[in-house]
A and B are shown apart, each in its own frame.
Chain A
Amino acid sequence: MSGVGSEESSTPPSRVTPLAFLDPGDPRFASVADVRERLGSAGYLADEGIAGVVHLADRLGKPVLVEGPAGTGKTELAKSVARVTASRLVRLQCYEGLDESKALYEWNYRKQLLRIQAEQVVAPIAGEEPGTPPSGQGRWKVLEEDIFSEEFLLARPLLEAIRSTDPVVLLVDEVDRLELETEALLLEVLSEYQVSIPELGTVSATRIPMVFLTSNNTRELSEALKRRCLYLHLDYPSLEREREIVSERVPGITTELADQVARIVRALRGMELKKHPSISETLDWARTLVMLGVESVDPDSARSTLNVLLKYRSDLERAAKELDLVVAGDSPT
């Protein structure tokens, strides 16, 4: 897999006419079952939907937009895919105010300034009068080409992912934090897998990287972005899957306890709470129970550890009430 772009790597930033259809290269996964199996071996239990979308993303060479409540394993999915495909993970953390120079590339103007100053200082020592013709015009040309060469280019995550010759997985995290205008920045990269740099030309990907965008759904993403992506909604897992995740990720847990944990968490998610427990919180809770040596959850142990799962006081009270954990005259936690 890593050998794919090796011939091209000698001439990286070349002007390439965009192809109508990009060839996604050799498939990384053989089938949906293969995706599940390999992700499973990396400790990520994918359900049918997740595996199906990852498989398609690989075959179609399209980015995946992963949306869902916090703590359902969106980022973890990208990391796991990187692990099983032996790729490097390039991560772009989005935030409000992120711009081109932080996402794509930036000219290292400090170094450029240094270079220009060095020209003025170094040239006379070399025995040449500074600024004498015919070198004046010619030297500026040389200098310009020099300071706008790759040496002075700072590659930010998007360019880095595209330029990379070894396999990469690009993770654009919390893309919903970007402003609408900045989102457009992603469009060229995600549909053509190329970046245009006016001074250098267009840099195209030698191999289409797998791209994951995650969103916590704090705002509606633009239609243009959604259209270019495969969409995966990651919700809380089913009872069976959660049980498996707990038994897989929490060492030393018994099947009965894992089952009980998953059931209680499901009951909590069925209530009207401010914040439902996420998978990571479920795992924390299971670890807590194991550490405390609890073999089976009874009202006492549940009451004293429920604050690992629920982070609002009103939620705690309501959960305790609905699960019948309250002993008369006693309040939870």
Chain B
Amino acid sequence: MLDVLAGFVSELREAGLPVSMSETLDAAEAMGYVEMGDREELKYALAATLVKSPSHWRAFETAFEVYFALRGEKFAIDATSNDPGEAGSEELRPEAFGGHRGAGGGGGEALGPQEVAEMLMRALWSADTAMLAAAARYAVGRFAGMEPGRPVGGTYYLYRTLRNLDLDRIAGQMLDAAREEAPAGHLTPLEERLVRDEIGSRIALLRKEIEAEIRRRLVADRGTEALAKSLRKPLLEDVDFMHASRDEMASLRRVVQPLTRKLAVRLARKRRHGRKGPLDFRATVRRSLSTGGVPVDPRFRYPHPAKPEVVVVADVSGSVASFARFTLHLVHALSTQFSKVRSFAFIDGIDEVTRFFEESDDVVEALERVNTEAQVVWVDGHSDYGHALGEFWERWGEELSPRTSVIILGDARNNYHASQAWVLAELMHRVRHVYWLNPEPRAYWDTGDSIVGEYSPYCSDVVECRNLRQLESFVAGLA
């Protein structure tokens, strides 16, 4: 067992989790106190000793599924299970569905699509994990068409299984059934919404079971380490903005709120830290009374350092839109930490978008309005940094002051237009700092139509900003 633990820990480290030696020892000690047969208990014991941050949970779970997939009796794969259909349906029918289905389908012959759908629906309605697992097992055996030694990823099998199951249709049928069963003959919108949520969550559960089943079979086929390596994904804070999947983008958005809170606390603390205000005479004298009039413990007032003004100028063209939106979102969520935040969006024209964030509490809606209402297109809707910066200087240059920090977001891919770098040179003289955040890897800078190099002499700093970690450290350094 200790060998498995050692392998497991090194896999976690490979995935980027900081697991120390003493934590490994704790885990080993903890394993002595759990029931080895109980997989859940083992999982929580390992999680408690090895995983110390919620954002690492996903990586932990994946690794755990792989390393401890075959341990536990009910998950053992019998020898016949590589033979699709057969094994799954045999063990499934008698225990779970025999009673319901009666005479339907005998022996090892495959079920028809309608029957499969019925079986799934029954499993979904029952919301019983064992039954869902059995259904998932059957589905994978039947549809995934897994062949030993074939070098394709788990997602391929998942896709094949799900395509054959057609879960959307099943969800629709379940909803219809719920409508019919409703006492009033129809569902109120609220009830319908709740039923839909319920069905959605159960289908998600089934999907998870299917994924787990596929993983189990892959482990049996390829061995633990090889599979763990292929399933490794970057941690959320290392996900590249430019290549984030939709799921990843959604989870990134979800962490913005806690992240801003964290940053806000840190910034406020940093500003206050180490600096004391003037002596608070009254408090000092009052305090000294308890030491017989000797002012042992001088009191100071809190200092009130000035907050910086921030102007964000963001490229919102297709290539970097997700990055720009994310950053705008973050900066505005932090607006209490800056005395003033103004934001501008451009593609080849430029427009101020501060009002969208001010008028609406809701960030998603504000971003939507930035996309639809702001006048950011001048000629053809291809990025033109030169023109946009020029216009920015002309229209708003007067309003900038030496207290302002300007942050420019973009990849500086200018479609071979003129760079107008003099604008930045002028800016540099007028404001406190000019920062450029570039979501591209540093190696790509100044290749093709990227002209970061022409702007960078006029910036206080040009920063590579590809993931949450880099963005966080930049914002923390700002205030």
A, B in one complex: yes
Contact between A49 and B44, CB atoms less than 8 A apart: yes
Contact between A48 and B44, CB atoms less than 8 A apart: yes
Query: In the complex where A56-B30, A220-B262 touch, is A231 in contact with B193 (Cβ < 8 A)?
Result: no
Contact between A60 and B190, CB atoms less than 8 A apart: no
Instruction: Report how far A239 CA is from B254 CA in the complex, Å.
Output: 21
A226 within 8 A of B: yes
Contact between A325 and B190, CB atoms less than 8 A apart: yes
> Across the interface, which residues of A come within 8 angstroms of B47, CB to CB?
49, 231
Query: In the complex where A231-B51, A314-B361 touch, is A323 in contact with B33 (Cβ < 8 A)?
Result: no
> Across the interface, which residues of A come within 8 angstroms of B291, CB to CB?
109-110, 113
B189 within 8 A of A: yes
- Closest beta carbon of chain B to A238's beta carbon, Å: 9
- Closest beta carbon of chain A to B257's beta carbon, Å: 7
Instruction: Report how far A218 CA is from B261 CA in the complex, Å.
Output: 6
Chain A, residues 209-229, CB within 8 Å of chain B (1/0): the string is 000000001111001001101
B20 within 8 A of A: yes
Contact between B262 and A274, CB atoms less than 8 A apart: no
> Across the interface, which residues of B come within 8 angstroms of A227, CB to CB?
20, 22-23, 52
Contact between A217 and B290, CB atoms less than 8 A apart: no
Majority secondary structure of chain B interface residues (helix, strand, loop or mixed) = helix
Chain B, residues 45-64, CB within 8 Å of chain A (1/0): the string is 10111011110010000000
A53 within 8 A of B: yes
Chain B, residues 194-227, CB within 8 Å of chain A (1/0): the string is 1001100100000000000000000000000000
- Which chain A residues in 4-19 approach chain B with CB under 8 Å? none
Contact between A32 and B41, CB atoms less than 8 A apart: yes
> Across the interface, which residues of B come within 8 angstroms of A312, CB to CB?
361
Which listed residue (A49, A55, A59, A324) contacts B193, Cβ 8 A? A324
Instruction: Report how far A302 CA is from B193 CA in the complex, Å.
Output: 14
Contact between B26 and A62, CB atoms less than 8 A apart: yes
Query: In the complex where A110-B290, A219-B265 touch, is A263 in contact with B362 (Cβ < 8 A)?
Result: no
- Which chain B residues in 345-377 approach chain A with CB under 8 Å? 360-362, 364
- Closest beta carbon of chain B to A46's beta carbon, Å: 11
Contact between A270 and B197, CB atoms less than 8 A apart: yes
Contact between A267 and B193, CB atoms less than 8 A apart: yes
A233 within 8 A of B: yes
A52 within 8 A of B: yes
Residue among A179, A226, A227, A267 with most chain B CB within 10 A: A227
- Which chain A residues in 251-275 approach chain B with CB under 8 Å? 260, 263-264, 266-267, 270, 272, 274
> Across the interface, which residues of A come within 8 angstroms of B34, CB to CB?
32, 52, 56
> Across the interface, which residues of A come within 8 angstroms of B290, CB to CB?
110
Which listed residue (B33, B53, B54) contacts A56, Cβ 8 A? B33
B245 within 8 A of A: no
Chain A, residues 54-73, CB within 8 Å of chain B (1/0): the string is 01100110101101100000
A298 within 8 A of B: yes
Contact between B361 and A217, CB atoms less than 8 A apart: no
> Across the interface, which residues of A come within 8 angstroms of B266, CB to CB?
219
Contact between A267 and B265, CB atoms less than 8 A apart: no
Instruction: Report how far A266 CA is from B29 CA in the complex, Å.
Output: 37
Contact between B189 and A324, CB atoms less than 8 A apart: yes
A232 within 8 A of B: yes
Instruction: Report how far A220 CA is from B291 CA in the complex, Å.
Output: 39
- Which chain A residues in 64-118 approach chain B with CB under 8 Å? 64-65, 67-68, 96, 109-110, 113
B477 within 8 A of A: no
A313 within 8 A of B: yes
Which residue on B lies nearest to A67, using beta carbons?
B54
Residue among A263, A297, A313, A318 with most chain B CB within 10 A: A263
- Closest beta carbon of chain A to B110's beta carbon, Å: 35
Instruction: Report how far A233 CA is from B263 CA in the complex, Å.
Output: 21
Contact between A60 and B33, CB atoms less than 8 A apart: yes
> Across the interface, which residues of B come within 8 angstroms of A22, CB to CB?
none
B292 within 8 A of A: yes
B155 within 8 A of A: no
A-B residue pairs, 3 tightest by C-beta: A324-B189, A314-B361, A52-B44
Known: A223-B18, A231-B53. 9 other contacts (CB 8 A): A55-B33, A56-B33, A67-B54, A179-B269, A263-B197, A264-B194, A299-B188, A323-B193, A324-B193
